[in-house]
């Protein structure tokens, strides 16, 4: 059964200009929801807004940087009260490196986008009772590899943040989606020259036999948004990656 968000609901998707965030926004707009997509790139936002504008729902694009509190505060001042907030934003540039070569500036940038930023969303978003706040973690927290210590730590910390906020923000529901390897544009940053080979190798390991798609993550996030009895939960959508 497909999870549907109420067509009258207002949703903010931070990171909604590409990848999993855009897939989610596409699904929500198709269902008639009022969707605001937010991201740092004006060019990608404009392209995403054009792509979404043909659906029955309303679409709005606002430039915002999840790592800057003033930017997040302005976003929610402009948007006003909402029913759901989702972030898929990540800055993985240069973060995969041996701990002996750790660049503190890169580590802080990653933590700002993956951990501090979600906390700022919780601080500034005016979410209706029974609405939801969904963070995006990742498989690195549960099956880390060499060079992934910082992203693993940031992803793992999101679970604890969500557990605490599910109590503090109740009756707003707070959850985490934890994707496995998904074919999104972030791979152009992580491994631009080795993407195909790495995806093929991982596909051979996974129980499902392939890499995930952005629309599959979007469907899972919609489940967290629509099910009023889910809070303080990490939903793993990783093709069985944690098992191998």
Q: For every residue of the chain, which 3-state class applies, written as one string?
A: CCCCCCCCCEEEEECCCCHHHHHHHHHHHHCCCEEEEEECCHHHHHHHHHHHCCCCCEEEEEECCCCCHHHHHHHHHHHCCEEEEEECCCCCCCCCCCHHHCCHHHHHHHHHHHHHHHHHHHHHCCEEEEEEEEEECCHHHCCCCCCCHHHHHHHHHHHHHHHHHHHHCCCCEEEEEEECCECCCCHHHHCCCCHHHHHHHHHHHCCCCCCECHHHHHHHHHHHHHCCCCCCCEEEECCCHHHC
Residue found by looking up tokens 């700002």 in the block: 112
Q: Give per-residue pLDDT as tens, 34-92.
A: 999 999 999 999 999 999 998 888 999 999 999 999 999 999 999 999 999 999 998 87
Q: Give per-residue pLDDT as tens, 125-139.
A: 999 999 999 999 999
CATH number of 10-243: 3.40.50.720
Confidence of residue 1 (pLDDT cuts 50, 70, 90): very low
Q: Give per-residue pLDDT as tens, 183-216.
A: 987 776 666 778 888 899 999 999 999 999 999 9
Q: What gap in Å lies between CA 35 and CA 40, rounded to an integer? A: 17
């Amino acid at each position: 059964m497909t999870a549907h968000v109420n067509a009258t609901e207002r949703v903010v998707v931070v990171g909604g200009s590409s990848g999993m965030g855009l897939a989610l926004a596409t699904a929500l707009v198709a269902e008639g929801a009022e969707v605001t997509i937010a991201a740092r790139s004006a060019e990608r936002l404009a392209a995403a807004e054009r792509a979404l504008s043909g659906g029955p729902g309303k679409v709005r694009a606002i430039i915002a940087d999840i790592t800057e509190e003033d930017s997040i505060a302005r976003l929610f001042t402009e948007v006003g009260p909402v029913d759901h907030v989702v972030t898929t934003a990540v800055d993985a540039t240069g973060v995969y490196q041996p701990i002996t070569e750790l660049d503190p500036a890169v580590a802080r940038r990653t933590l700002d986008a993956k951990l501090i930023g979600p906390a700022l969303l919780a601080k500034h978003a005016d979410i209706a009772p029974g609405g939801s706040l969904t963070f995006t973690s990742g498989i690195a927290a549960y099956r880390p590899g060499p060079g992934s210590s910082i992203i693993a730590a940031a992803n793992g910390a999101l679970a604890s943040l969500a557990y605490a906020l599910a109590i503090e923000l109740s009756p707003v529901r707070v959850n985490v989606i934890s994707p496995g390897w998904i074919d999104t544009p972030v791979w152009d940053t992580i491994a631009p020259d080795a993407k195909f080979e790495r995806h093929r190798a991982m596909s051979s390991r996974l129980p499902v036999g392939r890499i995930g798609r952005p629309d599959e993550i979007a469907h899972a996030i919609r489940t967290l948004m629509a099910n009023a009895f889910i809070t303080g939960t990490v939903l793993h959508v990783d093709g069985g990656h944690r098992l191998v």
